[in-house]
A and B are shown apart, each in its own frame.
Chain A
Amino acid sequence: MIRAGLQALLSHWWRNPLQLVTLLGGLALATALWSGVQGVNAEARQSYDAAAATLGEVQFAQLLPASGDQISEATYIALRRTGWLVSPVIEGRRENVRIVGIDPLTAPGTIGPITLTPGTDVAAFLTGRGQVFGTTQTLAALRGLIDADLVEASDIAPNVAITDIGVAQRILGLEGQLSRLIVAPQQPLGQASLADIAPQLTLRQPQGGTDVARLTDSFHLNLTAFGLLAFAVGIFIVNGAIGLAFEQRRSVVRTLRALGFPLHVLIALMAVELLVLALVAGGLGIFLGYLIAAALLPDVAATLRGLYGAEVSGDLQLRPSWWLSGMAIAVGGTGMAAASSLWRLARMPLLAAARPRAWAMAAGKGAGWKGLISVALLLASLLVIVLGKGLLLGFFALGALLIGAALGLPLVLDRVLALGQSMGKSVTASWFWADTRQQLPGLSLALMALLLAMAANVGVSTMVSSFRLTFVGFLDQRLSSELYVYADDPAQAEQLVAYLAPRVDAILPIQSVQADLAGLPSEIYGYRQHATYSDNWQFLTSVDDAWGVLGRGEGVIINEQLYRRANLNLGDEILIAPAVYLPIVGIYGDYGNPIGQAVVTEALFVQVFPTSVPLRFGLRLPSQDVPALSASLRDEFGLSAGNLINQAGIKAFSLNVFERTFTVTTALNFLTLAVAAFAILMSLLTLAGMRLPQLAPVWALGLTRAQIGRLELVRAIILAVVTTLLALPLGLALAWVLLAVVNVEAFGWRLPLYLFPLDYLRLGAFALIAAALAALWPAIRLARTPATDLLKVFANER
């Protein structure tokens, strides 16, 4: 019995391959976009976790030196002698690789590649040339540069090399120095006070999440939101395809039940059938998602490195959790899309009449309710924007805005078409408008998908273009020095300053230390008083004579990120260093920087951070002298290209980081639009097959098949035009929320909204071409429908 039932159910797909392609394609595309984004996120998070596990920041408390300082071995020994169970760590960079030295004999068990378990070759790690652990790529960068055995370890974070502390000190040239001390969780009771032995150290409790993970959370949330949007667009297609398939099979279901097939078995079979289809489409989607993730990951890795300093592996790994979650979302999405259809089927009376177009009309039901929900969602979005705070609420506002607008679309389109109908003069025009209104329910899901995709495109392109415009202007302000010089060490820096002093108009040292300001990870800069700064830097807000107050060492200026995240205001005092409080006298824009920043005068900086030595310098000189000076610096000091960067070079680098940041969103945008075009094509093709009963009478009354085909094309274009026009204000609203709400929460800066009419025009043209191409095939099919098929409508009215 089950075999016969299955044959009857599955034969539907055999006879309707287009529907099967729509269902599988829609679900595969939705899963692909979602799992692609998740693949990228999972890879990045894995890298952060590997780094955190290696460095022990998450699990263990740490003793840290004052900003910009190191810990002496003598302090470490003093702490150990007075009962502190601490383990030393040294960190530094060599060839852009983060070298981390640990002491395996005192380090807590889970840190580093070496643990004191039976069979571990600790001797090789500790003695002789020593061993350096890292991934293949990391070790490749170090090969030939360091005197130690290189050992491959795949579970170590990218661009991080772990070795014994003595080996690391030798490699980094930091003999006798330590970066921090890891504090073991269990400490003896009779321990001396930290303030007595090492008052210069501060105890930092376990982080419970890495700084990098916290910093990049917003970036990943952005990607996830886009993935979800693309998935939602895909689910529109799946919902449509499943709804249609169920509706078309109502007569089969009725017949099967009339012939004695039990309803519960029938529902179970259909659920299993959907599960199998979901697994097939999910598998295909995960494969496509893998390709998408592999294509996007290098750009994401570059973005995270350039913007956040976070190291992410550029290679994608197939993690079970990733493909299992991809399968789960495919099955869950199918279940969500099919739930109402299965429910209707379970409650369908056996003698219910077959209604082949009921699916198409179903979307038109409850229009009043949908209108109310639409208005409620739009109002909720507005309320959240005005009253809410936080990134999640920002995304909620975006979601409510988009879903509310999508639900309201059929109502607006119906009103527009009704207007067209009232203006139609000829009988053909009257029929055309009335018929288009009748088609609207069947097309509304696809048009909603188009609206969302278009709005996302307008919104994101507006945000990116506004950002680019602001960022380029900002770079022009901030990168005003003609040449930037980087010294390799303090001695060379001193020689460089002496050499440059008579040859340039001004030397502007760039010196900074990492610090926690108002509880947030930040950096403090010491600036040399010069017109370069006061002439070029624009404050977002400041006290009167901010540069004067700052120059007298009586204030500090901070970036917008710190101002917003710490909820600071002009006049508030912040702690720059122990016992050094300064009032905020100005807030400046600092686009592209994820962390807080504060600027004080050079004199104050040197006084507070005496061990910090500037190695970078901005040089002011006539532009035409830059090539000659660069050449002489290379000759005199043997400086490499990396040590000499002219203004154009650093601008290009900054812009490159910026462009790569948005490569991912642009790619996702494009893919979402492609999914929407697919939705329209499939909806039109499906409707074309069901349209004969409506078109046959019109044909019989005198319209030619070619005319009918042309009208079908015009209909699709008109609907796409109206949808595109509606997508424009929605997209601009989306851009505004992104710039004024989401960006502020995610990145800490607010950008002005610029409009780009030409871009919108181009995007609209693309959408129309996509809609026209999607409509062309069904229109041609209708135009070529054999007359016998049209006659069958009259011959067999069932």
Chain B
Amino acid sequence: MLLVARNVEKSFPSADGPVAVLRGIGLDLCAHETLALTGESGSGKSTLLHLIGGLDAPDAGSILVDGHDIANMGDKARAKMRRETVGVIFQQFNLIPSLNVSDNISFQARLAGRHDPAWDDTLITRMGLGAHVHKFPEQLSGGQQQRVAIARTLAARPALVLADEPTGNLDEQTADAVLDIMLQLVAETGAGLLMVTHSQRLAKRMGRRVHLRAGHVV
């Protein structure tokens, strides 16, 4: 099993005391599997994604990624996991503004020590970014930036791809096209994919769906 989450809890402080966002979540995901995580705003989707991605630590419960429990990891170990095992595609792209498209795509693979220029070229071609490799993020449209962000994640060949509303900023037609490519490439790399989305239409295209409501799986 690539991902096993059990009894995950997370709360955040507020002026009126701690607010529980996740209340004992459980979740599994195998390699080659695609899973859509849906739910209302504030249901805890992004928080769960951040915990699985090692961007934050749970208050209770366990999250095993490739057999390693994130809850027991220190900062360094979680950084290593983010670098080598998990790839996160952010809704806001989070590209490095001072690097061009080509450097942005190869960036995470270089961090992981798995840089493969030929695979970069394949991704660039498949993503339709061939004409933009020397451009900087600010010179690209939203759709193009999202494709660069997806390519950056897949270039590092992570075992688990986490996508947080990857098409949330795109129109329907562009979103479909981007998701097509993403699903094809994830299938080719054999990674597991967990995607957070609001869209039932896009969620239906995933292998499995999990719905969150008020911090619980329903």
Contact = CB atoms under 8 A, between A and B. Distances in A.
Contact of A254 (B84, B94, B99, B107): B94
Given A351-B55, A796-B142, A11 B96 contact: yes
Interface string A245-274: 000000110111111111110000000000
Nearest to A795: B142
Nearest to B55: A350
Contacts of A261: 79, 83, 111
A14 B98 contact: yes
Contacts of A15: 97-98, 136
Contact of B96 (A1, A16, A255, A351): A255
Interface in B84-101: 84, 88, 90, 92, 94-99
A259 B99 contact: no
Contact of A12 (B84, B98, B107, B108): B98
Given A1-B111, A15-B98, A259 B55 contact: no
B110 interface: yes
A226 B83 CA distance: 51
Contacts of B95: 255
Given A3-B110, A350-B56, A798-B92, A252 B97 contact: yes
A38 to B, nearest CB: 37
A263 B79 contact: yes
Contact of B79 (A255, A260, A798): A260
A308 B84 CA distance: 72
Contact of B94 (A1, A3, A12, A251): A251
B107 A259 contact: yes
A256 B108 CA distance: 9
Contacts of B113: 1
Contacts, number: 74
Contacts of A166: none
A258 to B, nearest CB: 6
Nearest to A12: B98
A257 B79 contact: yes
A117 interface: no
A4 interface: yes
Interface string A735-748: 00000000000000
B180 interface: no
A472 to B, nearest CB: 60
Given A1-B83, A258-B90, A11 B50 contact: no
Interface string A425-447: 00000000000000000000000
A258 B83 contact: no
A341 B82 CA distance: 25
A5 interface: yes
A263 B50 CA distance: 17
A351 B50 contact: yes
B88 A8 contact: no
A186 interface: no
A8 B142 contact: no
A259 B108 contact: yes
Nearest to A353: B92
Contacts of B81: 260
B111 A11 contact: no
A257 B82 CA distance: 9
A681 B148 CA distance: 37
B214 interface: no
A676 B76 CA distance: 44
Contacts of B92: 798
A350 B88 CA distance: 14
Nearest to A13: B98
Contacts of A1: 83, 110-111, 113
A14 B83 CA distance: 26
Nearest to A255: B94
A259 B98 contact: no
A4 B107 contact: yes
Nearest to A798: B92
A262 B76 contact: yes
Interface size class of A (residues with CB under 8 A): 20 to 34
A624 interface: no
Nearest to A11: B98
Interface string B195-216: 0000000000000000000000
Given A14-B98, A796-B142, A259 B90 contact: no
A120 interface: no
A7 B111 contact: no
Contacts of B55: 258, 350-351
A288 B99 CA distance: 34
A351 B108 contact: no
B76 A258 contact: no
B79 A8 contact: no
Given A14-B98, A252-B98, A259 B103 contact: no
Interface in A253-305: 254-264
B127 interface: no
A251 B56 CA distance: 17
Interface in B64-87: 75-76, 79-84
Contacts of A12: 98
Contacts of A4: 107, 110-111
B155 to A, nearest CB: 11
A8 to B, nearest CB: 5
B42 to A, nearest CB: 16
Given A261-B79, A351-B50, A5 B97 contact: no
Contacts of B56: 350-351
Nearest to A3: B110
B112 interface: yes
A680 to B, nearest CB: 26
Contact of A7 (B83, B90, B99): B99
Interface string A3-39: 1110110011011100000000000000000000000
A351 B10 CA distance: 15
Nearest to B81: A260
A701 to B, nearest CB: 25
Interface string A222-263: 000000000000000000000000000001101111111111
Contact of A258 (B82, B99, B136, B142): B82
A262 B79 contact: yes
Contacts of B88: 258-259
A11 B107 CA distance: 13
A5 B99 contact: no
Nearest to B85: A260
Contacts of A8: 96, 98-99, 107
Given A1-B111, A8-B107, A15-B136, A260 B83 contact: yes
Interface in A286-337: none
Nearest to A261: B111
A266 to B, nearest CB: 10
A728 B113 CA distance: 61
Nearest to B110: A4
Nearest to A16: B98
A108 B188 CA distance: 90
B96 A260 contact: no
A526 to B, nearest CB: 78
A251 B80 CA distance: 20
Contact of B82 (A5, A259, A798): A259
B83 to A, nearest CB: 3
A5 B111 contact: yes
Given A258-B90, A260-B84, 10 more contacts: A12-B98, A15-B97, A15-B136, A258-B53, A258-B55, A260-B79, A262-B79, A263-B75, A264-B76, A350-B56
Interface of A: 1, 3-5, 7-8, 11-12, 14-16, 251-252, 254-264, 350-351, 796, 798
20 contacts: A1-B113, A11-B99, A11-B103, A14-B98, A251-B94, A252-B97, A252-B98, A255-B94, A255-B95, A255-B96, A258-B53, A258-B55, A258-B82, A258-B94, A259-B108, A260-B80, A260-B82, A261-B83, A262-B79, A350-B56
Interface of B: 50, 53, 55-56, 75-76, 79-84, 88, 90, 92, 94-99, 103, 107-108, 110-113, 136, 142
Give 3 nearest A-B pairs by CB, closest first: A260-B83, A260-B82, A11-B98
